[in-house]
Chains A and B, each alone.
Chain A
Amino acid sequence: MTTATLTAPAHSEPTKTASRRKRFNPLVGLVILIVVGFSLGPVLYAILGGFRTNAQLAADPAGLPDPWVWDNYARVLADGRFWTYGLNSLAIALLTTALVVVCGLMAAYPLSRYRFRGREALYMVFVLGLLFPATVAVIPLFIIISRDLSMSNTWFGVALPQAAFALPMTIVILRPFLQQIPAEIEEAASIDGAGRITVFWRMMLPLSGPGLVTVGVLAFVNSWNAYLLPLLLLQGDMRTLPLGVADYSTQYSSDTAGVFAFTSLSMVPAMIFFLAMQRRIVGGLSGAVKG
């Protein structure tokens, strides 16, 4: 479904090009200019701000770097904390993604391809999970993880609950995906003597690849950007990049240029990854909302 939506425009392109490429409309151009300026302006300002000095920023807040100063960025890159926080973010996001993909696919498999009584009821249990806003449970979650499980300030302490909250969406996306795989494939395999578990490993896993990428990217994005749960659970050197950015900006509030440099560099890995995966994120979101 997701892939179909995404590849569709490619087919209709020739006809559209013919009928739609008309005279340049200045109104359209103006609207686009405003939208682009509004979207990109603050981000560009932050990146450019990192190349200025605090004196430049104070003297002329709306100006360009003159001269360009590399010192702010160099300082952040030489600062071990940036790399430590980045590593924590990466580790937690990867752990979350792995947990979600493995557990989600395993659960979605019988829910989509087995016939058993209570299947829909079991599916509903997971769907109901969509209705629980993570914020609602966060205070008890904090107490459970830090006291009952003694897992505060660990990667797993954050990754496990994040994976749990990503599960409902994952299963809702993966189930129709697995249901679309033709039954003949399973039948052929079982005639060849393969059990269901073999079918799972040899057929379902490779065939569900695109769906797994979508749910994986969504889980990764959400984990990488997460703030509330890490805020409650992680301290000191275990903090993630968003926490680091927030702390840096309060700690060095007078060093605006430094804050811009730190913030801009924190955007970089996410930007590269997410823009490369843009279609997957959109596909996942629109696929998810379509049921």
Chain B
Amino acid sequence: MMTSPTTVESTGAGVAAAGRSEQRPASPARTRRPRDWRMALEVIGFTAPALVLFFMFIVWPMIRAVEFSFFRWKGFGPLVDFVGLKNYVSVLTNDVFIGALLNNLFVVVMSIVIQLPVGIAVALLLNRKMRFQGILRMIVFVPYVLAEVIAGVVWFQLLQPQYGVIDSILGMVGIQGPEQGFLGDPKYAMWTVMVVLTWKYLGLAIILFLAGLQGVPAELDEAAQIDGATWWQTQRYVTLPLLGPTLRTWGFLSMVGSLQLFDMVWILTKGGPANSTMTMATFLINEGTRRSNYGIAGAASVILFVVALALALVYQRFILRRDNPDYADKAARR
């Protein structure tokens, strides 16, 4: 398409010119635009604060992370000790980091394996008309509302060996907890963290599924019931398929969150005992702040980003693709 000389193109950043390149007497709706340069200024003016924040605090630190990853740097003086890919090699051959990566994947998988079926079951139950429905929904949501740190501190106290209430309750039914406590024993620590995470995030799954269920028209359920379907058949063949998009998007949120896991682990175990609960995030914070290995932390950051991006793309390609991303289609289906 030819661009006419009246179009302002030099204002940069792709925000410059108007959609139509030729100044011609167009339909009334189009002539609402005063002059192109004026609109370009407005666009720049309106988006500038957001763009400044975005580049200063997201893009710029990301670039620095990549930069750090190529240097050996302890945080003093200029970046001079270029080591190429050495930091990446040392992170990827580090058993602690590999263990951390596997722990993250463990959380990704277990979140879905535990929270998806339980969340669906509870959401279907809570979706039935019953007394105290509103209060029940709020109660389920309480753990999610708490800061991860605050929830972590509470669970840390509950899980204390001997004096904690968990050990005491298990003792009443004759189960002896591990001597070091559930968080102090490398065999149990990661599973214990997983239980706490389930407690914290199950409510989010339930609430999101409930919100999704509200989008399922009641008429469909009723039609199925009139046709003689049992409650379970109605759920299985009518409600659940319509819940698909909500489940898939919840899966995405859950995956992204699991890969970034930091707060809860830091409060409960700091990645211990014997690195058994280390995650990629606790690894890079440990390297970055406690040991000042900024190069190693940078390389770990980049690897975490690549893993997150790769999983996101795979998820997008194979699972989210089923939900037509086209707005118009989506709107039409609703």
Q: Which residues of A contact B (CB under 8 A)?
A: 5-6, 8-9, 12, 15-17, 19-21, 28, 31-32, 35-36, 38-40, 42-43, 45-46, 49, 57-58, 60-62, 99, 102-104, 106-107, 109-111, 114-119, 121-122, 125-126, 129, 131-144, 160-161, 163-165, 167-168, 171, 176, 183, 186-187, 190, 195-197, 200, 221, 224-225, 227-228, 232, 241-243, 245-246, 249, 256, 259-260, 263, 266-267, 270-271, 274-275, 278, 281-283, 285-286, 289-291
Contact = CB atoms under 8 A, between A and B. Distances in A.
Interface string B164-206: 1101110010000000000000000000000000010011100
A165 B58 contact: yes
Contact of A136 (B50, B153, B217, B301): B301
Interface centre among A31, A114, A165, by most B CB within 10 Å? A114
Q: Is the interface of A mostly helix, strand, loop or mixed?
A: helix
16 contacts: A19-B221, A19-B222, A43-B143, A61-B163, A115-B20, A125-B51, A137-B57, A137-B65, A163-B53, A196-B42, A228-B263, A228-B281, A271-B142, A278-B141, A289-B250, A289-B252
B40 interface: yes
Contacts of B151: 42
A242 B138 contact: no
Contacts of A136: 62, 65, 301-302, 304-305, 308
B212 interface: yes
A48 B15 CA distance: 58
B317 interface: no
B214 interface: yes
Contacts of A58: 163
B245 A290 contact: yes
B50 A227 contact: no
A164 B122 contact: no
Query: Which interface class (under 10, 10 to 19, 20 to 34, 35 or more) fits B?
Result: 35 or more
Nearest to B165: A61
B24 interface: no
B57 A39 contact: no
A259 B125 contact: no
A62 B165 contact: yes
B47 A19 contact: no
Contacts of B221: 19
B207 interface: yes
B251 to A, nearest CB: 10
B85 interface: no
Contacts of A139: 65, 68, 284-285, 288-289, 294, 297-298, 301
B17 interface: yes
Interface string B133-159: 000111111110111111111111110
B84 interface: no
B327 interface: yes
A281 B314 CA distance: 28
A45 B153 contact: no
Contact of A197 (B42, B122, B309): B42
Interface string B306-319: 00110010000000
Closest A-B pairs by Cβ, 6 of them: A118-B14, A140-B64, A164-B57, A107-B50, A289-B249, A225-B147
Contact of A137 (B34, B62, B225): B62
A271 B288 contact: no
Contacts of A99: 53
Contact of B15 (A60, A116, A142, A271): A116
Contact of A161 (B57, B160, B169, B285): B57
B128 interface: yes
